[in-house]
Amino acid sequence: MPSTEPAHPQRVFAHQLYDGICADLRPDRIIEMADGQITAVRAATARDAQDRSVVEFDLVAPGFIDLQINGAGDTQFNFEPNPAALRRIAAGARQGGTAYILPTFITAAGRDYGRAISAVQEAIAQGVPGIIGLHLEGPFLSHARPGIHDPSAIRAMDAEDLDRLTAARTGALLLTVAPESLPAGALPRLTAAGIRVFAGHSEASADQIAQAEAEGLVGVTHLFNAMSQMTGREPGVVGATLASRSLFAGIIADGHHVDWRNVATAARLMPDRLCLVTDAMLTLAGQLTGFELHGETIELRGSRLTNKTGRLAGAHISMIDSIRNIMQHAGLGLTDALRMATANPARALGKAGEIGTVQPGARATLTCLTQSLDVAAGMTDGLLLDFDNG
């Protein structure tokens, strides 16, 4: 391990650096870090090449950020909302290069989401590496677009929900709702509290999305999936998002959730707003190939997770595989793909300059890759971790 003493900043030699800012890779850069922050990024010298204390990698990027991950390492957040489970999920996600996660708690009965809030608060207090916040996906969704969520638990938001959510202290809090079902005044209050509200599992019209955007909506969850589609006379959630100048969108690039032509179209229209998400379930980086969800058996067949009727039930993909996929099947270049795993999600969370970038003052969080885009290692808040073994 590199020294962590303040007098000896950690240093990484990147033969190629994607810094989350420049459109091109920067060759031969030294990244200096101390106390969990990046202190300098400079051109490497001949002396640096001889310094054995410098850790060397082919390609370095800002730490990948996954805005939507339900589980990994045989652990599902909804099943075990506690810090130990979050540690296992984060470790499983790291195998795919993900440095920061928003563990995602999906629709559950009543105010069961309170257990997820408490778990993330405790994990952050304990210093569990990689937990940047929480994603609550439901229960305030549309009965017309439940997806795999339990329809019996989908419900309207009430005053007590508003009080609990706006008082939550979980780091970044991303809340997926069907905006058309929110009570009047709820969305402005949520956003005023710093909550990043996304539309998802929604039957909203384009006009309703525009109104929600004016009230603080910042994005949509898993674009194209579980939302109203674009038609000739009604753009729906999909069309409203593509036409927007500010809405972010998560997208699942596994080849099952979204046709590659739609992925390519979204990437072309919103290159600075599209965010790769895994939507991964407990099978990612795990041994299990099936589990029970809401009384249904979910099975992994190849790389596809479905119930017995064939309905998709989350995903089985890592972040580095998402990057490779979007390059191969949607024609993106390397830096464009990396942006969608780093700088874009950082901006979606309102954390540009803090994460998703390699520059002085940013958190010392890196994903380090080989020339063939395999995950080599990484650093999370100054802690060097073996991303291959979690």
Q: What residue ranges define each of the domains in the chain, with the CATH number in brackets?
A: 10-62+356-385 (2.30.40.10), 64-348 (3.20.20.140)
Q: Among 279, 321, 336, 381, which one carries the catalytic annotation?
A: 279
Q: Has 21 been labeled as part of a binding site?
A: no
pLDDT tens-digit map of 130-160: 999 999 999 999 999 999 999 999 999 999 9
Helices (H), the chain: 46-50, 83-94, 113-126, 159-167, 186-192, 206-214, 236-243, 260-269, 319-330, 334-339, 343-348
* 3-class DSSP assignment, residue 239: helix
Q: What is the pTM of this model?
A: 0.96
pLDDT tens-digit map of 95-144: 999 999 999 999 999 999 999 999 999 999 999 999 999 999 999 999 99
Q: Has 312 been labeled as part of a binding site?
A: yes
Confidence class for position 390, pLDDT limits 50, 70, 90: very low
Decide if pLDDT at 2 tops 60: no
Q: Has 329 been labeled as part of a binding site?
A: no
Which pLDDT score, from 0 to 100, does residue 10 have?
87
Which pair of tokens denotes residue 84? 């130990």
Q: Has 257 been labeled as part of a binding site?
A: yes
CA 374 to chain centre: 19
Q: Give the mean model confidence (pLDDT) for residues 312-323.
A: 96
Which pLDDT score, from 0 to 100, does residue 217 have?
98
**259 is known as an active-site residue:** no
Residues 365 and 253: their CA atoms lie apart, in Å, by 24
Q: Pairing between strand 64-69 and 26-34? A: unpaired
Distances (CA, A) of 287 to 73, 74, 135, 302: 7, 6, 25, 14
Which pLDDT score, from 0 to 100, does residue 388 have?
60
Q: Has 273 been labeled as part of a binding site?
A: no
Which pair of tokens denotes residue 17? 């650096």
* 3-class DSSP assignment, residue 377: strand
